Chains A and B, each alone.
Chain A
Amino acid sequence: MSKRTLRGKVAIAGVGETTYYRHGKSPVSEFKLALQAILAACEDAGIDPRRIDGFASYSNDRNEPSRLAAALGLPALRFSNMNWGGGGGGGSAAMGNAAAAVACGMANCVVVFRALAQGQFQRFGAAPPGGVAAGEAALNAPYGVMSPAQRYAMRAMRFLHENKIEPSAQRAIALASYHHAQSNPRAVMHGRPLTEEAYDQSRWIVEPWRLFDCCQENDGAAALIVVPAEEARDFKHKPAYILGSAQGSEYRNGARSHNAPLYATSSFTTVAPQLYDMAGVKPKDVDVVQSYENFTGGVLMSLVEHGFFAAEEANDFLTPANLMAPTGKLPLNTSGGNLAECYMHGLELQIEAVRQIRGASTAQVPKADVSMVISGPMVTPVSSMIFGTEATL
């Protein structure tokens, strides 16, 4: 029996995004942002939007496929899919779900999208006043553990402790994102460079994380179009093929009240090997990485769990020079990522990974044939994926 795989079966035909705004600053509604990003992706692909026949998203996106299909006048909706789990853990999973639907013929042109307007809806990093807490929240909120930073800081604290990792390792991740944002006019932090001194002097959000270790919150929308590989050459841009996608988490990662047996983890210890196996590549083959920054400590653990260096090598490996395009050993978050381009729940990372394959990034890595995205560390499920050029097939 031939190996069951997504490798080389689908490609990204188009990518699109709205203007990225600071949180609460979108001049239009969240649903209109979603529509704008989808139409931008169709324009980028050079297709009639009526060709879309499916939608995939994650993190309980509020913009339902049926409403989108009606608004866009689609002839038929053939696939609608939501990946469970909060945060950005489902970003690569939604791409994988869309890819699976296309690869097996359930649909032919699937949009993966995410839209956020936090003025219209609530922020992630703020808690509603008063009220009661039940279940997992009852074991956290009364102790002042409510925001994502507060929920995940203890995972990173344990990892930093076990592996004697210095603050400079987390700082390098923040500096790389801000550095790359300075060449990206789409980035919310374009024109606002970050120095080591400014990082070191920034206030604590929750130890071990300072202000610049934490993602922004933003308004906007992003979309990508997934099509069968046979059609991949019919569009305006060089195709980015999906080599692999994997999602999930290790043994009892979701045990309540912080009882995951492997606690100091970004949740990728079983997912990453599955991804590499499907993609048929090794860490040394990866030319450029976009790794979801909810918090820099999560990126650090993600890179370890994807095999780019061992935990005890983190202090030496994680320097700004190693993480910067075009010459770094492992160019990281080359659009500015969640920290400095836009917190579009990580879907902007998928777009940047495709732009690297096209040779169209604002911080282009030479000969980027293998381009990885890591989505949503420390939550569960998490997901990651790898794009490749035609040369990698």
Chain B
Amino acid sequence: MSYLPTYLPGGLPIPVPENDGLDKPYWDATRRGELVVQRCKKCGTFQWGPEWICHKCLSFDVDWHKVSGKGRIYSWERPWHPVHPALKEHGPYIVVLVELPDAGNVRMLGNLLGDPKQDVRIGADVQAVFEPHDDAKPPFTLVQWKLA
């Protein structure tokens, strides 16, 4: 796994699996450099964020499915005003909402790597990139996005 400097500074909240274990397979997969979303074993519907039941056929038999990491920007924002102490003096950053055409167009959030002041185009193709935070306690890996 290639090591990247992190997009945002350290000190932001550390993501941990929910205490009922619902999203643990997702966070475990990111540590391996794999992007997974839920897929119903009964009807094949993709689902994100994670839930205990398939919203389409109401089966509880919902599995985890590895996806390619190809995405398309659905919406975006550029925060300037820091609301967290770790972001004071940091300046603007870009958040993108990305739809995954290979997985039923479910959407995932992330930062768009590169110049934080760049123009962002809705519809642009992007690719998932893994951003490990190995020194965090506990360690975790974020899924980020770069222009394809």
Contact = CB atoms under 8 A, between A and B. Distances in A.
A150 B95 contact: yes
A28 interface: no
B136 to A, nearest CB: 10
B12 interface: yes
A130 interface: yes
Contacts of B49: 136, 139, 255-257, 259
Nearest to B80: A204
B81 A205 contact: yes
A258 B97 contact: yes
A76 interface: no
Contacts of A161: 75, 122
B95 A144 contact: yes
Interface residues of A, number: 44
B114 interface: no
A257 B19 contact: no
A259 B111 contact: no
B81 A144 contact: no
Nearest to B55: A252
B122 to A, nearest CB: 5
B23 to A, nearest CB: 7
Given A158-B74, A256-B51, A150 B12 contact: no
A74 interface: no
B109 to A, nearest CB: 6
Interface in B108-134: 108-111, 122
B44 interface: no
B86 A129 contact: yes
Contacts of B19: 134
B84 to A, nearest CB: 4
Contacts of A204: 78, 80-81, 92
A364 to B, nearest CB: 36
In this complex, the member of A135, A146, A158 whose beta carbon has the largest number of chain B beta carbons within 10 angstroms is: A135
Given A144-B8, A145-B95, A133 B15 contact: yes
Interface residues of B, number: 44
B64 interface: no
Interface in B62-92: 74-81, 83-87, 92
A133 B95 contact: no
Contacts of A146: 13, 83-84
B80 A203 contact: yes
Contacts of B17: 134, 138
Given A126-B83, A153-B77, A208-B77, A257 B13 contact: no
B75 A157 contact: yes
Contacts of A168: none
Contact of B122 (A139, A158, A207, A259): A158
Contact of A257 (B27, B80, B87, B109): B109
A154 B75 contact: yes
A206 B19 CA distance: 32
Contacts of B11: 129-130
In this complex, the member of A134, A144, A153 whose beta carbon has the largest number of chain B beta carbons within 10 angstroms is: A144
A155 interface: yes
Contacts of B27: 138
B77 A157 contact: yes
B107 interface: yes
B135 interface: no
Contact of A125 (B16, B22, B83, B87): B83
B57 interface: no
Interface in B1-41: 8, 11-19, 22-23, 27
Contacts of A130: 11, 13
A131 B15 CA distance: 9
A393 interface: no
A257 B37 CA distance: 12
B81 A259 contact: no
Given A129-B85, A132-B16, A142-B13, A207 B80 contact: yes
Given A135-B23, A256-B50, A144 B108 contact: no
A205 B111 CA distance: 17
10 contacts: A133-B13, A134-B18, A135-B18, A138-B17, A142-B142, A143-B111, A149-B81, A255-B55, A263-B74, A264-B75
Interface of A: 125-127, 129-147, 149-150, 153-155, 157-158, 161, 203-208, 252, 255-259, 263-264
